[in-house]
Amino acid sequence: MRMTVLGTGYLGATHAACMAELGHDVLGVDVDPSKLAKLEAGEVPFYEPGLQEVLKRNIDEGRLRFTDSYEEAADFADVHFLAVGTPQKRGEYGADLKYVDAVIDTLSRLITRPAVIFGKSTVPVGTAERLGRRARELAPSGVQIEVAWNPEFLREGHAVEDTLRPDRLVVGVDETAPSRAEGIAREIYEKTISSGTPFVLTNLATAELVKAAANAFLATKISFINAIAEVCEAADGDITQLADAIGHDDRIGRKFLNAGIGFGGGCLPKDIRAFMARAGELGADQALTFLREVDNINMRRRTQMVELTRRECGGFLGARVAILGAAFKPESDDVRDSPALNIAGQIHLQGADVRVYDPKAMENSRRLFPTLTYSESIEEACEGADVLLVLTEWKEFISLTPQDIGKRVRSKRVIDGRNCLDGAQWRAGGWTYRGLGRALGNTK
Ligand code: UGA
């Protein structure tokens, strides 16, 4: 099937490449010439394992092209995916919908044949219905445009796998009017559905809410375990053992129960805030007040890490702090609202000499936080350090041994912000090891 993907950021570039991989004829559309130039050359403008190969193969085989022309997009296909960003508004909790609105306004005027626009961006409930009305208003007379919602659940670092083999497909349609969207969606995802992926058909509001609720649940799960980690710290408990133990109950499950410096990235933090803001507008604000606490617990983890580091160094002035990890999670170069970079920044601003190393996120970190000192390797970051912080659980940090860097540091102290190191091994190597959520008062 022919289709366009409007917006070629993280979500759009992945979706475009994966739809071509499923055999469709895809046109990716963006207004950013530098992004388009890279994509056209078969280069992914961010780090995402496996995406480069899928992108290149489908460009070479002629199923995937890119353009900045909405005229071309309207002419090319009658199925369009809306995949532009919905960032948090400046100084407010709500989502900024200006990019979504701009796409609908531009495209709808140019469409000349009946078309379906599937929204993939994360939007406040009620947006799809509003966009549908707007598209119908702007469409040339006699041209039918339907807006349906097909939320995306991909995780950065696993984007290709999550798009090609999702654990569910959700499609929301306008149930008050005749809809072609369900049939078209079933055709687009035919291979995925026939391999057993559940297809959940809902109304527009439910589809939008499924996405918001999924991210709110994940954020809540992480903050739950981090709240229990605070109690472990006070009571001499061990959060990792606790998470393993409760995770054996399959009603609870072990996934997303990794305590540490908390969640960040371009989705969970802004999505729970936008969800609260929208519930408030709808008069259901009390329903989601717990998400404010979820956010507070999460932000407190960063402060806790800074304070723990201060204690370990005996004050920040004159101290050198090695920081391994800047990305918000491993297998990603994304530093948007990254707990690691936030902690590095706070410690630096409070007077310590901070050296940061990340295998993939150095360029983005430098852009976001140019005044930090960046190192080219783990060894360089650790040189003369009074304390070592591991803040993103990259494989190469997990596999470090205490001997690897013992000679580089000034003082053998490590704080494990992701509970990803083997504490016993580090202690046996002569280091003071501390993990968040693990009896912080105890030096052994
Ligand atoms: C998240 C959701 O997991 C996806 O399903 C969703 O599609 C996506 O947001 C989105 O809305 O676009 P992502 O932001 O890629 O995906 O990252 P996650 O894997 O959810 O991790 C988010 C943060 O939580 C990271 O900072 C990670 O380190 C942290 N985390 C995760 C923990 O602190 N503990 C855990 O146990 C798991």
**Overall average pLDDT of the 198-214 stretch:** 98
- pLDDT at 288 exceeding the cut of 60: yes
Closest CA to 68 of 35, 25, 102, 117: 35
Ligand 1 centroid to residue 213 C-alpha, Å: 14
Domain ranges of the chain: 2-197, 221-435
**Phi and psi, residue 172, nearest 5°:** -105, 130
- What is the pTM (predicted TM-score) of this model? 0.96
Q: How far apart are CA 420 and CA 409, in angstroms?
A: 20
**Residue 156 CB less than 6 A away from ligand 1:** yes
Q: Whose CA is nearest to atom 20 of ligand 1?
A: 155
Catalytic pick among 18, 232, 267, 313? 267
| 169, 200 contact by CB (below 8 A) | yes
User: Quick one: tokens of 176?
Assistant: 């008050």
300: Cβ–Cβ under 8 A, 6 or more apart, which residues? 226, 230
**Neighbour count for residue 180 (Cβ, 10 Å):** 16
Residue range 92-143, pLDDT digits in tens: 999 999 999 999 999 999 999 999 999 999 999 999 999 999 999 999 999 9
**Residue 10 CB less than 6 A away from ligand 1:** no
Residue 438 pLDDT: 85
- The single-letter DSSP state of residue 286 is G
State the sign of the Cα–Cα–Cα–Cα dihedral 109, 169, 286, 291.
negative
Helix, strand, coil proportions of the chain in percent (round to 5)? 45, 15, 40
**Residue 256 CB less than 6 A away from ligand 1:** yes
Give the strand pairing for 64-67 and 79-82. unpaired
Residue 443 pLDDT: 43
Fold of 2-197: Rossmann fold (3.40.50)
Q: Whose CA is nearest to atom 11 of ligand 1?
A: 267
Q: How far apart are CA 387 and CA 125, in angstroms?
A: 46
Q: How far apart are CA 258 and CA 255, in angstroms?
A: 8
> Which atom of ligand 1 lies closest to the CA of 418?
33
**Neighbour count for residue 244 (Cβ, 10 Å):** 12
**Residue 135 CB less than 6 A away from ligand 1:** no
**Neighbour count for residue 138 (Cβ, 10 Å):** 17
- Residue 440: pLDDT band by 50, 70, 90 thresholds? low
Q: Whose CA is nearest to atom 29 of ligand 1?
A: 263
- pLDDT at 68 exceeding the cut of 90: yes
- pLDDT at 152 exceeding the cut of 50: yes
- pLDDT at 442 exceeding the cut of 70: no
| 47, 333 contact by CB (below 8 A) | yes
Q: Whose CA is nearest to atom 6 of ligand 1?
A: 153
Q: Select the more confidently predicted residue: 376 or 442.
A: 376
Active site residue 267: yes
Q: How far apart are CA 400 and CA 402, in angstroms?
A: 7
Beta strand ranges found along 30-180 (DSSP E): 64-67, 79-82, 115-119, 145-149, 169-173
- Residue 177: pLDDT band by 50, 70, 90 thresholds? confident
**Residue 222 CB less than 6 A away from ligand 1:** yes
Q: What average pLDDT is seen over the chain?
A: 96
State the sign of the Cα–Cα–Cα–Cα dihedral 94, 100, 105, 108.
negative
- The arrangement of strands across the sheet holding 373-374 comes to 373-374, 353-357, 320-324, 387-390, 413-416, 432-435
| 386, 317 contact by CB (below 8 A) | no
Question: Kind and range of the H or E element at 141?
Answer: none
Domains 2-197 and 221-435 belong to one CATH topology: yes
Q: What is the CA radius of gyration of the chain?
A: 24
- pLDDT at 248 exceeding the cut of 70: yes
**Overall average pLDDT of the 152-180 stretch:** 96
Closest CA to 128 of 181, 190, 72: 181
> Which atom of ligand 1 lies closest to the CA of 255?
36
Q: What three-state secondary structure class fits 199?
A: strand
Tokens 């959520």 belong to 437
- Residue 444: pLDDT band by 50, 70, 90 thresholds? very low
- pLDDT at 41 exceeding the cut of 60: yes
Q: How far apart are CA 77 and CA 63, in angstroms?
A: 13
Question: Kind and range of the H or E element at 297?
Answer: helix 289-313
Residue range 355-396, pLDDT digits in tens: 999 999 999 999 999 999 999 999 999 999 999 999 999 999
State the sign of the Cα–Cα–Cα–Cα dihedral 187, 189, 190, 194.
negative
**Phi and psi, residue 274, nearest 5°:** -65, -35
Ligand 1 centroid to residue 179 C-alpha, Å: 33
**Residue 267 CB less than 6 A away from ligand 1:** yes
Q: Is it true that domain 221-435 has CATH number 3.40.50.720? A: yes
Residues of the chain with pLDDT > 90, as a percent, come to: 97
